Amino acid sequence: MPENTNHKAPAWLTEEYVEKRLRVYFKNDTLSLKKLVIKPGTANGENYASVMTRINVEYTTSDSKDIQPATFLLKTTFADKDPAAHLLINYGIYTREIDMYEVVLPRLADIVRNELHDSRKLFAATVSADRERDSIMFEDLSLERYKVACRVSKLDLEHTHLVLEKLADFHAAGAALAERQPGIFEKNYDRGFFNQHVRGYEPVMKNILKALSRTLELSQDLKQRYQAKIDRLIENVMDYGERSTSFAPGDFVTLAHGDIWTTNVMFQYDDEGHPVNAIFIDFQFSVWNSPAIDLHYFFSTSIHENLRLEHQTELVQFYYYKLVEALKKVKYTGKVPTLFAFQQQFRAKAFYAVFSSLIFEPAMVYNGKEEPTIEQFISSDEKGLRIRDAMYQTEENLKKLHLILPFLDHQGLLDEM
């Protein structure tokens, strides 16, 4: 029977349930489950929209009576119990990730393996997607020594190049799949953080920008140069964000990950400590859009500051050539932009860097005692204000503002748009 856990395992997660799904996954009706041990996959309080459970099993088959061990992860969402469900539900995140793991990711994996001829994994294999129970079971890649990099230290050039290479494959495979199955991304793939349908994140974004405005009071120079611009941005952030995710004639569009940052990438290393593969996780905000939004989001949240501030043009070029190479291999028949046109497209979506840099990134790297939550970002009470200010007023972030605000301002991204 399952062992006790720090979080209560779902009552339906029984030996019979797991055995049935493993028989389908391994395509072997003789599989017999001999042992099931259930443990928490993440610490309590790490995620309010879902729970990760690690499933350790031992089984036999008719082909071999030897005991076979295996480990899987179960991600269970609780849309009705999530404190921020009223904000998130209209974004479709609770069904989209199941769609991704059940339908899209297995097909993308085939394209990557058979047409891009890359035997490395791009994401964890799907064992089972259960819509009735809002759950997904997939392989546990920690057994293959995959691990997440430090979200505070961020990624160096070697890691960054690897992620861009894998992103190019992901985007090329998504474009090819859309050509072969018209309409596959029409339903529920139009609602990223900015979209034309719902503005649930508006209070989150405005409240965090207000915390930034208060923080600028701590530096006379920053206050004088940027506070009026940030205050104006507060009222326009949703409009500008929606423009940055709108398609322009000639844009190359594909399936974007939508939330590609350090914690949603896992790396595998060789014996010398060099990263040899990267896989993507968490596909709740995957969206049909420009790949430039993934690039801006990734650059603004996840790479070393010198790369972000001084080398973005070269990084976009690196990604572009990997993308073009992958599109040729999958025999994509749509229009492939020139490097010049793609660099223009990247610049046209640049407000995504403002949103990523000034709203999400400070929360991503915050290391305070209290973990910020969506509810605290929305709240107008004293605790919410305190946490938002604390998130922005760390010593590291105050130093960073002297670099990031000029970087964005020099591009005109803090002015009226």
Task: Kindly report, residue by residue over 208-240, the tens digit of the pLDDT.
Answer: 999 999 999 999 999 999 999 999 999 999 999
Q: Which two tokens stand for residue 224?
A: 């004088």
CA 406, 408, 413: angle at the middle one, nearest 5? 130
- Regarding predicted confidence, which is higher, 79 or 21? 21
Q: With 60 as the cut, is the pLDDT of residue 80 above it?
A: no
DSSP 150: P
Q: Give dist(CA 300, CA 320) in Å, integer.
A: 18
Q: Backbone phi, then psi, for 277, in 5-degree steps?
A: -155, 155
Q: Which two tokens stand for residue 28?
A: 């072997």
Candidate from 36-40, 54-58, 177-181, 298-302 with smallest mean pLDDT: 36-40
State the pLDDT at residue 67: 92
Q: What percent of the chain has pLDDT over 70?
A: 94
Q: Give dist(CA 168, CA 323) in Å, integer.
A: 5
Give the count of beta carbons closer than 10 Å to the beta carbon of residue 146: 19
State the pLDDT at residue 82: 60
Average pLDDT score over the chain = 91
State the pLDDT at residue 382: 87
- Regarding predicted confidence, which is higher, 353 or 81? 353
State the pLDDT at residue 81: 57
pLDDT, mean of residues 271-286: 94
Quick one: three-class SS letters along 329-380? HCCCCCCCCCHHHHHHHHHHCCHHHHHHHHHHHHHHHCCCCCCCCHHHHHCC
Contacts of 372 (CB under 8 A, 6+ apart): 363, 366, 387, 388, 391
Candidate from 20-29, 172-181, 294-303, 382-391 with smallest mean pLDDT: 382-391
State the pLDDT at residue 381: 86
Give the tens place of pLDDT for each residue, 183-213: 999 988 999 999 999 998 999 999 999 999 9
pTM of the model: 0.91
Q: Which two tokens stand for residue 294?
A: 């993934």
- What CA–CA distances, in Å, run from 371 to 6, 287, 375, 393? 19, 27, 11, 15
- Give residue limits of the domains in the chain: 1-77, 106-122+149-410
Instruction: Please answer whether residues 227 and 213 qualify as being in contact, where contact means their C-beta atoms are separated by less than 8 angstroms.
Output: yes
| Helices and strands per DSSP (H, E), number in the chain | 16, 10
CATH number for the domain running over 106-122+149-410: 3.90.1200
Predicted confidence band of residue 2 (pLDDT cuts 50, 70, 90):
very low
Residue 70, judged by CB atoms within 10 A of its CB (0-12, 13-18, 19+), counts as middle
State the pLDDT at residue 406: 97
- Look at residues 26, 60, 54 and name the one whose alpha carbon lies nearest to residue 40: 54
pLDDT, mean of residues 154-167: 98
